[in-house]
Structure 1
Amino acid sequence: MYFGETEANEPEKRVTGVGGFFFKSEDPSKLKDWYKKHLGLNTDDYGCTFWWMDDKGNKASTQWSPFAADTKYFEPSQKQFMQNFRVHNLDGLLVKLKEEGVALVGEPEAYDYGKFAWILDPEGNKIELWEPVDKAFL
C-alpha cells in the first residue's frame, strides 16, 4: 500500500495524534517540580510522558516538556512553543508536504524511538512530525 491509499475508503492518515507539547521556560527544573507537586505530573529530566492506548489498542505516548528559554531547538521559529504531532507514515507525508509547498526545516532524523522531521506553518510556527516507535519506551 502506498501513501495516500487507504483501506475501505478510509481518509488518508497524516496526523494521528498529539505527540507532545514543548515550550520555553525561564527555569525548566523549577517548573517541572511545580507541576509535579501541584498537579501530580510524574516528571523526569525531559518533562512528563502521558501514556494512552491508540485506536488499535497499542500503548502510545504524548510528551510534555519545558525547554530552557534560550533553546535553539525551536528555530527558525521565534515562538515560545513547538507542537509535536504523531504521524502515520513520515516519509510519505514529507513527499506530499513538499508537493503542497510546505516549508521543511532541516533534514529528517531517525532514532530507535521513531523518525522526526520539521515543518513551518504559515505563521512561522515550527512543527515537529514524529512517526513513533512507542515500544522503545516500554
Structure 2
Amino acid sequence: MNKTILTLSVAILLVSCNSKTEKTNDMTEKKDQTEKPASKVDSTPKVTGVGGIFFYSENLEETQKWYEENLGIEMNDWGSSSFDSRDMDNPEQINSLQWKPFKKGDEYFSPSKKEFMINYQVQNIEGLVKKLKENGVTILDSLETYDYGKFIHILDKEGNKIELWEPI
C-alpha cells in the first residue's frame, strides 16, 4: 500500500514538474528576473511548514489498524507514518511530515490538556527561541539536538503544546 502512495506521489510530482518546465520555457525572461540570488539565503526565524500531527487515541492498536486498513497509512517502527515531500525552493531537500496517534493519557502532550499537538518545522530555531522569549511565550524545556534535528516545546496563548523542529 505504501508503494502505491509513493508511486502516486511520484506521478503527481512528475506531472507538476513537467507543467512547471513548460511554463518556464515559455517565460525564460520573467524567470530570470524573479529568481532569488543564490547568495541570499533567508534565515528569518519562522515556521516553514508542518512537521507533524499528533493526537490521542482511546485504543492505539485499533486506531492504527483502522487507518492502515481504511486509508493505507502504514506505521513505521516508531508507531508513526512519514509523509515525504520536496521543498519547492530547494527540490533536493526532502521534507517529512510525521503523523502519529498516541495512547490517551500519554504525558508527551503535557502540560497541555488538549487531545492533539502540532509539530511545526522551523528555520533558525535559536533565533526563534530568542524572539519567543522576548515576546513572553511560555517555553517548556530547553533546546535539544538529535541526529534528525533540534527540538523545543512551547505553549500557545490557549495552552496548546507546540513542538518546534528544525531539521539538521
Which TM-score tier does this pair reach, normalised by the shorter chain?
0.7 to 0.9
Secondary structure of 1:73's match? helix
Is 1:53–2:91 an aligned residue pair? no
Name the residue aligned to 1:12: 44
Q: 2:108 aligns with which of 62, 73, 91?
A: 73
| Higher Rg | 2
* Aligned partner letter, 1:47: S
Aligned-partner residue type, residue 101 of structure 1: G
Percent of aligned pairs with the same amino acid? 47
The reply to whether residue 115 of structure 1 matches residue 147 of structure 2 is no
CA distance in 2, matches of 1:78, 1:96: 25
- Which residue is 2:129 aligned to? 94
Is the 2:45–2:125 contact (alpha carbons within 8 Å) kept by the matching residues of 1?
no
1:30 aligned residue: 62
CA displacement 1:56-94 (0-9 Å, x = unmatched): 111110000000101111111010101100001111110
Report the alpha carbon displacement of residue 47 of structure 1 after superposing the two structures with TM: 1.7
Alpha-carbon RMSD across the aligned residues, in angstroms, is 1.8
User: Aligned residues, how many?
Assistant: 127
> Which has more helix, going by share of residues?
2
Runs of 4+ with >3 A deviation: 10-13
Gaps (5+ residues) in structure 1?
1-6, 134-138
Instruction: State how far apart, in whole Å, the 1-side matches of 2:80 and 2:68 are.
Output: 10
Q: CA deviation at 1:42?
A: 2.2
TM-score (normalizing by structure 2): 0.70
